[in-house]
Amino acid sequence: MANGGLFKPATQEQIRLRKEMWLKDWDQKLKTFKSRQDVFPRADGGFDVRGDVQDWGSKDYKCLALKYRIVTGNFSCGGTFQSLKGAPKLICGNFSFHGELRSLKVFPKEVWGNVDFINHPYPGNRRNAKRWTVSDIKKVCDIRGTIKVENHEGL
1 in a domain, yes or no?
no
Which pLDDT score, from 0 to 100, does residue 66 have? 95
Which pLDDT score, from 0 to 100, does residue 6 have? 79
110 in a domain, yes or no?
yes
* Mean pLDDT by groups of 10 residues along the chain of 155 residues: 71 93 93 96 96 91 91 94 93 94 92 93 65 93 96 67
116 in a domain, yes or no?
yes
30 in a domain, yes or no?
no
Which pLDDT score, from 0 to 100, does residue 136 have? 95
3 in a domain, yes or no?
no
114 in a domain, yes or no?
yes
CB atoms near residue 138 (< 10 Å): 13
Which pLDDT score, from 0 to 100, does residue 16 have? 92
Domain that holds residue 115: 40-151
Number of domains in the chain: 1
